[in-house]
Amino acid sequence: MLDLTHKTKTLVRLLRAPLEETQERIRKGALYQPRHNNFEPQTHIREAAEWLVRAQDAGADRGVSYGADFGNGFLPSYPETTGYIIPTFLALCRYLKRDEFRSRAVEMGEWESAVQLESGAVMGGMYNRQPTPAIFNTGMVLLGWSALYDETGCELFRCSGARAARWLMEMQDEDGTWRRGNSQFARAESTLYNVKAAWGLARMGRSLGQCEYLQAAVRNAEFTVSQQHPNGWFPDCCLTNPHRPLLHTIAYTMQGLIGIGTLSKRREFIDAAEKTARSLAGVMHPDGFIPGAIESNFRGTVNWACLTGTAQTSIVWSALEKLTGDAAFGQAAERANRYLMARHDIANADPALRGGVAGSWPVSAEYGRYKVLNWATKFLVDALLLREPNAADLFCLLT
């Protein structure tokens, strides 16, 4: 009798689960509903920028909130992404002619220095009292500290950047990759996207005149390119599934190679990113949709979009248009941006959601499910800024 009761309860739970999931999808999906016909980039830039401001002001510190759960408000600050929002705020200061964004960027950099680990590393995950080091996060914050040092000449940012760079070099293996020091939240064997962290190392090397930092970044880029398939695909390049990587981490890899290639004048790194970018342009649908996960033959494996990765890929296409002169890259970026703007809620009554960018579309998909994310929002701003007529002086900050 007890066994029968247990089986009955188990059956009820199994039958109830799909219904509860459907109800959650309807309820939470209704909380983020872009209903507009506004494709004016300036409006979307302003709304996304104001969301990032609110995300910084949401907590007790001067970091930027990880994002917001639908219906539950802002989450704690996120050191990794706060670091690379800094260059975006410096760009917004120039674009919007609002000194507030420069002041906020400085506050972010000071906070990053205050929570930097004794080793020089940056912690993984959201801000916490039991931090563990993370290679990728450290490189991302280097992008912020280097931009602030270039902007202000402040000794604090020089010292923090040098400490972080030295730690990255101590952790680097002879072949240029990082097998030690990777975040506990990542698959340690699938971190080819660390080349974007290497870009941060290269940027700090340029800012401080330290050639060894750039040389270390070049070694990582060489390793990354050596792993690339002839069609442009990168293996072992994902947070979750190395065989079907997220567009998000593929785009990180392209961004890192372009950045290091530009700084080192190594054209082969840019060519490698271009190969991937052309293959992705072939995957994109006419309306700008790009599958959120890609397998080795450049076929999508999911029917949802990673909005974060779409924005990053748009940034890559804009950079490649400038570097190669190929207008097809610019056209691809414009299509991707229109897709993003159509899914950007700029009229939400909830200030924790209005202007933020969801991790995926539909919002119930697995990447950043039912959340707006600060890095998705940052990448939308960057993608749109790079298409603006007066964006020439912003490229050095954003690509």
| Amino acid occupying residue 179 | R
Residue 77 CB-half CA count within 13 A: 23
Task: Classify domain 44-398 by CATH number.
Answer: 1.50.10.10
Least confident window among 27-31, 35-39, 103-107, 152-156: 27-31
Is the torsion defined by CA of 136, 167, 143, 216 positive or negative? negative
For tokens 């890899």, the residue is 253
* Average pLDDT of span 51-80: 97
Domain ranges within the chain, ordered by starting residue: 44-398
Query: Residue 349 carries which DSSP code?
Result: S
Helices (H) and strands (E) in the chain, counts: 14, 8
What mean pLDDT do residues 304-331 have?
98
255-265 confidence digits (pLDDT tens): 999 999 999 99
pLDDT confidence bin for 12, thresholds 50/70/90: low
The tokens 């040092």 sit on which residue?
A: 149
Distance CA 311, CA 323 (A): 19
Closest-CA residue to 302 (of 347, 356, 369, 223): 369
**CB-based burial of residue 322 (10 Å sphere; 0-12 exposed, 13-18 middle, 19+ buried)?**
middle
Classify burial at 175, counting beta carbons within 10 Å of its beta carbon; exposed 0-12, middle 13-18, buried 19 or more: exposed
Q: DSSP per residue over 52-86, as a string?
A: HHHHHHTSSSSSPB-EEETTTEEPPB-HHHHHHHH
**Terminal CA-to-CA distance of the chain, rounded, Å?**
67
Cβ 79 vs Cβ 63: under 8 Å: yes
State the average pLDDT for the chain. 93
pLDDT at residue 9, rounded to an integer: 56
Q: Is the entire prediction scored with pTM above 0.85? A: yes
Cis peptide preceding 362, ω within 30 of 0: yes
What's the pLDDT at 181? Answer: 77
H/E element, 115: helix 99-115
Structure token pair of residue 329: 């890259």
